[in-house]
Amino acid sequence: MNNAKHMTINGLFYLRLLLVICSISLWQSVASADEAEESAPEEKSVTDYIEMKPAFVTHVGKPGNKINYLKAAVTLRASSESVRPAVEAHTPRLRHELVMLFGEQTDLDTLSSMEGQQALREEATRRINGVLEEQQTGEQITGVLFTEFVVQR
C-alpha cells in the first residue's frame, strides 16, 4: 500500500511538472508570435486618387445630328501608391484612350443615365488597365470616378 501511494505521488509530481513545462512552452510560443506580429510591417490598404487634368471635353452623339458635348472630370482610383508613376508616365496615351471612348458615345439618353455612366466608368477602367498592361507597367487601377459629368444637348 505504501508503495502504491508513493507511485501515485510520483505520478502526480511528474504530471504537474509536465503541465508546467507545457505551459511555459505555450507561453513562449504565444509571446514569440506576438513579437513577430509587432515587428512585421503593417500592410496598409491605401487608396490613391489620381486626377486626370484637365477635364475631358468632346463631342458625343450620332454623326450628322446636332452637335452635343460631354465634359467629364476624371479621377483614377488605385489601391497602391506605385500606380501613380505608371499613370503619369503614360498620361498622353491614357488621355487618348479616354477621348476616343467618350467620342464613341452615341446614345445620349443612356449616357445621361446612372447605368450608362456606370458602364462607361467600367469600360474606361478596362481600357486604362489595357494600356497599363500593354506598356508592361505591372500596375492596374481599381476604378474610374467621374467628379464632374455634364452632357450638353
User: Which CATH number fits the domain that encloses residue 73?
Assistant: 3.30.479.30
Same domain, 36 and 65: no
Residues 91 and 23 in one domain: no
Regarding whether 102 and 65 lie in a shared domain, the answer is yes
Cβ atoms 60, 108 nearer than 8 A: yes
Residues 6+ apart with CB under 8 A from 51: 73, 74, 75, 76, 147
pTM passes above 0.75: no
pLDDT tens digits for 74-129? 999 999 999 999 999 999 999 999 999 999 999 999 999 999 999 999 999 999 99
Q: Where are the beta strands (DSSP E) in 1-132?
A: 48-60, 68-78
Distance CA 3, CA 119 (A): 86
What is the reported pLDDT for 38? 60
Residue 146 and residue 71 share a domain = yes
Across the chain, mean pLDDT equals 86
> Within this chain, do residues 54 and 74 fall inside the same structural domain, yes or no?
yes
Range of the domain at 144: 48-152
In which region does residue 144 sit, left (phi positive, over 0), alpha (psi from -120 to 50) or beta (all else)?
A: beta
Same domain, 78 and 143: yes
Structure confidence at residue 41 as a pLDDT band (50, 70, 90): low
Domain count, the chain: 2
138 and 117 assigned to the same domain: yes
pLDDT band at 11; cut points 50, 70, 90 = low
- Asked whether residue 56 falls in the same domain as residue 2, the answer is no
For 7, 26, 57, 151, the CA distances from 140, given in Å and listed in that order, are 70, 44, 25, 28
